Each structure stands twice: as C-alpha cells, then as structure tokens.
Chains A and B, each alone.
Chain A
C-alpha cells in the first residue's frame, strides 16, 4: 500500500518536471470545450456502432408491409421507412458503415501517402520530382469527382468506395509528409543521426517520422470527417454500401423520394452525418491548437 502510494507520487513528481509531449498535448486538448464535446460525441457514435444489436430492439433490414412510412411514435422513435423498417435501427447500424469508411479510407491514404511523402522529401531529386508531379496531377482532379470516377470503375460496393476515397485522399498526405520532411531534415538532430552513420531508412523512420506525427494526426482527423461525407455521398449515388444494408447516404437517397409524405426519413440520417462530421472537425481543430508548438 505504502509502496504504491509512494510510486504514484514519485511518478507524479516526474510528470511535473518532465511531461511527455503526448501527455502535454492531451492536457491541452481536454481544456478545450469544443474538442471535448467532439471527443464525447465521437465516442458515443463508436459505442452505438459497436453495440448496435444491444441498443435497438428492431432488425435494421426486417421489412413490414403493415408499417410502411409510419411517423415517429413511441414504438418507432424515428418513424419507419418506405419498406416498413425502423429508421432508428437503420441510423444506429448505419454508424458502422460510416465510421468504418472514415477510418479505413484514411488508413489507406496514410499507408500509401506517408511512405511516398517520406521518400520524396528525404531523397529529393528525380524521385521527388516524379512523385510531386503525380501528386499535383491527382490534386488537380476535385476530390469527390475522382472518388466517384474510381468507385464507378471499380464497381459499386462499400469496400470499393473505401478504396476510391482512400486513393483520392492520398495526395494530401503525400504533400503534407513531403513538406514536413523537408523542414525537419535540416534540423541538427537529423544531421547528428546521419553523422553517427545511421542508414537512411532508419533516419527516416526513427528520427524524422515521429517528429511529423502531430501534423499527420491533425490532417488524419480532419480527413476522417471528409471521408465520412464522401462515403455518404457515394452511397447516396448508389456507389457505396449496397441495399438492404443500412447506410446514412443511401437512406437519404430513399428519403428524397418520399419527402412530401415521410419527411422524418430525411431528418435523422442527415443529422447523424452532420453530428459525426462535426465532432471529428471539432477534435481536429482542437488537436491542431493543442499540438501547435507556437501556442505554448
């Protein structure tokens, strides 16, 4: 007992004298009301997505002809859709497609973009020129148009939509990583690592990458927000999640056809997209401020 108490106070004292950058960023992040709100709402949606079957009593794809387009009621809080399915159940289960698409497509963009950006920034020369021109070419095509074109050529499915969104988001990460590497690689500690005879890959991965992580983290959070909107857009057009599986985008597509007789069908999925995107944007903005070395 005494030992643990002592241990805690000792580590607390250490934390005060030498706080790790991650801990400091976290402390600054949770001081911001907007960021905390964003974190809470994001966590709530993640819980909804994970425990969806335990939360809603209805099957999101079970149709019922006696329940077609019923207004919100005590039994069906968000009403029912054109096939008699519970809208609340579909919104809750739809969180799975949206969050998954947000995280996986940004994961794809990071997995391709960061190594290419490191390579371009660190090696320079011809390789940099080549990678940069390809990045420029991709950035010249508007993000959503590129994603739609890719998704169309790959074929409609949630997996292909994620690939299309991920590839379309890649150039942003290449450019960001490259720019960050260029500014970090002239620092003394990189020079020191080189002088000690470290191989190039080791300098790039061990000395440069950790120092550009904050910028990547901010961009990744904001990109998840953009990717969730993009997935909803592709599903709205029929290029993402395929029916009858629920997704917020395809629910809005169906809702548009019944706007006069069943407006509730349009309200909830849109509100869900808005809330999730808003909270990722809040967290991203908060992270940017918390990780900004100038604002200490």
Chain B
C-alpha cells in the first residue's frame, strides 16, 4: 500500500511538470507578440519595452518559464488583463459556483444512473433493460448545450416555472439558488448518468453471475436481499470511484452550460478569458483544472484500494 502510494506520488511530479510546460507553451503558440496585445491600442514603444522587461519577455523562453513557474508555485498566477485582479482571486471567486453545480449534477447522475443500471441488469432483456439502454444512448449523444436551450424553452419560456438564466448564491437564498441551478445541473448530470448507467449495468451483470450470489440465492434469501445486499455492494464500489473521475466531463460540460444559463462560474470564466485574450486567466484555469483532476485521480486510486481488501498488501 505504502509502496504503491509512493510510486503514484512520484509519478505525479513529472505529470504536473509536463502540464505546466504544456500550459506555458500555449501562450507561445500565439502568432502575435503578447507585449503588443498588452500595450493596447496606442502601441507606445516605451510602454512595450516596459511590458517586455516587466514580464521578462525579452529573455529566452526557458528563462521565462522559470519565472512563470516560480510565480505559480508561490501562488502567483499573474494578473487578469481585463479585471486587473490576481488570477488566483478570480478563480477562488468563481470555483465555488461551479462546485455547487458539479455537486448537484453528481447527485442527479447517481440518482438516475445507478437505479437505471441496476434495473436494466436485473431485468436483462426486458423492456426495462431496453429503455435504460436507450436512455444511456440518448444521454451520451445529446449535446449538452442543445439540451440546455430546449430546457430553457420548455421550463422558462413555455411553462414559466424556472428562471432562464442568472445565479443566486446558496447562502443568500437557497430556494432561488436551487431554482437557478437545477436546469444546468440536470444538463450536466444527464450525460454522466448515462455513463454511470452503462458501468453499473455491466458491473451488476458480472456480479449477478458470481458464486457468492448463487450461494446467497441457494440459502433461500429473497431476491431483494440478494440484489440489494450482496450484489449491489460489490458492484458499486468501482462505480463510486468512477463518479469522482467524471469531474473532467463535468468541468468540460460546465463551460457551455454556464454560458447558456449565464452562470458566473469557472466555465464562463475561461470562455470570457478566451474572448478577451486574457491569457493569464486561461493558463490559470487550465492549470487549476488539471491539478484538481490529478488530485482526484489519486484519491480515487487510494479509495479503490481501501474498499478493495484484495489490493492491499
């Protein structure tokens, strides 16, 4: 166990290093001179020279990288050109909004995906199974921004039940907050529910054929007890770690979903930054996402070992 952990931690260091190189080099793919972009309309040579010196743009690229990574490691992600705010502060402001959406989406995904997967495995080959599989195909194939637009049309314009856009913090008014986020959370959760359903179904099918389930049935336990107590517990452990790994899908999905529902979260931050050519923000957001993803991956690995005694050693 400790050996494995140490090995995983050692692997993370080069991965994070390459992530940082990747993100840093994004800026250098840019055809223009960043100093020219930052200097604005006037392009005063003195200002450009000053910007070059300030951001070390007059130095060789590897040296620039060292300056940049030094800043990042001490929590300085640079400053947003648009908001004149430290990037880290912007991220800290927007991330909780997206985390609320993500948490709601995961709950929705588990509530739909796992029961659907169990039912379709237990009732394999019936209309239930067929229906659940159709649902999964629909969830995987529907572009989430289209689903969002259609939900706005139905629930906001036609029925007038929910607000079409905007965000209210949970601490301010929880009812309004849920009303504003339930549609985007459903849009995000829908796709993950489909993935969870497929995995739950195949895990359940495998477990239902195992010896201990046959033993449980042979003991005369009710089918309900066999499925809920014996089969489900064993089938679901890997699914729960899978749920954690779907965070990447969630963050990708949040980009468009937040755009459609005008929710001022992490996803909207990156889109706005892209259009304002606010590169420090783009880099900061991608780096934060990657770090969260890598950390969750590690936690999922550890959790997997903890719940699976056979892997401890």
A residues near B (Cβ < 8 Å) are 133-134, 136-138, 140-146, 148-150, 152-155, 225, 229, 232-233, 236-239, 252, 255-256, 259-260, 263, 266-267, 269-270, 273-274, 277-278, 281-282
Contact = CB atoms under 8 A, between A and B. Distances in A.
B131 to A, nearest CB: 14
B138 to A, nearest CB: 8
A89 B284 CA distance: 41
A133 B294 CA distance: 12
B18 A137 contact: yes
Contact of A252 (B14, B140, B149): B149
A150 B28 CA distance: 11
A29 B27 CA distance: 45
A259 B248 CA distance: 30
A252 B150 CA distance: 11
A155 to B, nearest CB: 7
Most chain B CB inside 10 Å of its own CB: which residue of A225, A259, A282: A259
Contacts of A225: 141
A16 B208 CA distance: 37
Counting contact residues on chain B (CB < 8 A from A), the size range is: 35 or more
A142 B153 CA distance: 29
Q: Is the interface of B mostly helix, strand, loop or mixed?
A: helix
Contact of B282 (A152, A266, A274): A152
Interface string B246-289: 00110111011001100000000011001100010010011001
A263 B289 CA distance: 35
B176 interface: no
Contact of A278 (B22, B137, B145, B149): B137
B268 to A, nearest CB: 11
B270 A148 contact: yes
B141 A148 contact: no
A142 B146 contact: no
Given A133-B15, A149-B286, A281-B137, A144 B146 contact: no
B299 interface: no
B248 to A, nearest CB: 4
Please classify the interface of chain A as helix (H, G, I), strand (E, B), loop, or mixed, using the class held by over half of its residues. helix
Contacts of A233: 143, 145, 255-256
B281 to A, nearest CB: 11
A277 B29 contact: no
Contacts of B46: none
B40 interface: no
Given A140-B19, A144-B255, A252-B149, A232 B14 contact: no
Contact of B143 (A137, A232, A263): A232
Contacts of B252: 142-145
A133 B14 contact: yes
Nearest to A146: B286
Contacts of B143: 229, 232-233, 270, 273-274, 277
Given A256-B260, A260-B157, A140 B29 contact: no
Interface string B144-160: 01100110110001000
B255 A145 contact: yes
A155 B22 CA distance: 18
| Centre residue among B17, B26, B274, B285 by max chain A CB count within 10 A | B274
Nearest to B285: A145
Given A142-B248, A145-B251, A274-B146, A236 B18 contact: no
Max count, chain A CB within 10 A of own CB: residue among B15, B146, B294: B146
Contacts of A238: 275
A252 B142 CA distance: 14
Contact of A137 (B22, B30, B140): B22
B30 A237 contact: no
Interface in B224-263: 248-249, 251-253, 255-256, 259-260
B293 interface: yes
A137 B142 contact: no
B62 interface: no
A236 B267 CA distance: 14
Given A153-B27, A153-B30, A273 B146 contact: yes
23 contacts: A134-B18, A138-B22, A140-B293, A142-B289, A144-B253, A144-B255, A148-B255, A148-B271, A149-B26, A149-B270, A233-B143, A237-B274, A252-B146, A252-B149, A255-B149, A259-B152, A266-B146, A269-B146, A274-B142, A274-B143, A277-B142, A281-B140, A281-B141
A270 B271 contact: no
Given A232-B143, A263-B153, A278-B137, 4 more contacts: A142-B248, A149-B270, A153-B26, A153-B29
A145 B270 contact: yes
A254 to B, nearest CB: 11
